[in-house]
Amino acid sequence: MKNKEKNIKFIPLNICVLTISDTRKNNNDKSGNLLCQKIKKSKHNIFEKKIIKDDVHLIIKQIKKWSKNKNIDIIISTGGTGLTGRDSTPEAITQIADKIIDGFGELFRMISYNKIGSSAIQSRSLGAIVKGKYIFTLPGSPSACKDAWDEILKFQLDIRFKPCNFAELIPRLKEKR
């Protein structure tokens, strides 16, 4: 990490991983399992990992449940961000988001573009805040999850990363105007 402050103590975050898929099970959930490995390697905590069907109502229900839990800091989903009829993750998140983090999706697509070219335009990955929790929706591909973690999230979820990061803002996400 280029901009890592050595005088700041690392704070592990509690992260939920949600795989959104009509076909994945624990034994073949490559993307969800990869995210869990990367989260643990970065010294954060897996609070819970779950697999649900690609359905707007199920996604909303799960995100709302986790967003009410004071012990959860971050929710990362994988799957359901494409263009097909069953891909419904962005629709679910935008219905319940307090704020959209536009730059997350833009940066993710830029990173993807550098690796897969114009096919990156097919990703509807996004970042949001729901009830004071960060939500990051990633494509279902292990490569996309690796890129999002290695190039964005591992830095932004580390309080030592400067000049600024998502982690340091967690206590302020529920502020009112």
Q: Is the pLDDT of residue 2 over 90?
A: no
CA 9 to each of CA 14, 168, 169: distance values in angstroms, whole numbers, following the listed order: 16, 12, 15
pLDDT on residue 83: 87
Does the residue 101 lie in any domain?
Answer: yes
Tokens of residue 163, six digits? 């000049």
Q: Is residue 85 a part of any domain in this protein?
A: yes
Q: What is the mean pLDDT of the chain?
A: 94
Whether pLDDT at 93 is above 80: yes
Q: pLDDT class for 174, splitting at 50, 70, 90?
A: confident
Asked if the structure places residue 177 within a domain, the reply is no
pLDDT of residue 4: 78
For residue 2, is it within any domain?
A: no
**In the predicted model, what is the mean pLDDT of residues 12-25?**
94
How many structural domains comprise the chain? Answer: 1
174/56: higher pLDDT: 56
Domain assignment present for residue 1? The answer is no
With 0-12 / 13-18 / 19 or more C-beta atoms within 10 angstroms meaning exposed / middle / buried, residue 105 is: buried
Inside any domain, residue 39: yes
β-sheet bridge partners, residue 126:
137
- The structure's pTM equals 0.94
Task: Provide the CB-side half-sphere exposure for 33 (13 A, CA).
Answer: 7
Domain that holds residue 90: 14-172
Dump pLDDT digits (tens) for 130-160.
999 999 999 999 999 999 999 999 999 999 9
Name residue, tokens 């629709």: 91
Whether 126 is covered by a domain: the verdict is yes
Asked whether residue 6 is domain-assigned, the answer is no
β-pairing, 126-130 vs 133-138, is antiparallel
pLDDT, one tens digit per residue, over 34-54 is: 999 999 999 999 999 999 999
Decide if pLDDT at 177 tops 90: no
Instruction: Check whether the bond before 142 is cis (ω within 30° of 0).
Output: no
DSSP-assigned beta bridge partners for residue 17: 49, 76
Q: CA nearest 161: which of 13, 47, 45?
A: 13
Q: What is the CATH number of the domain that holds 160?
A: 3.40.980.10
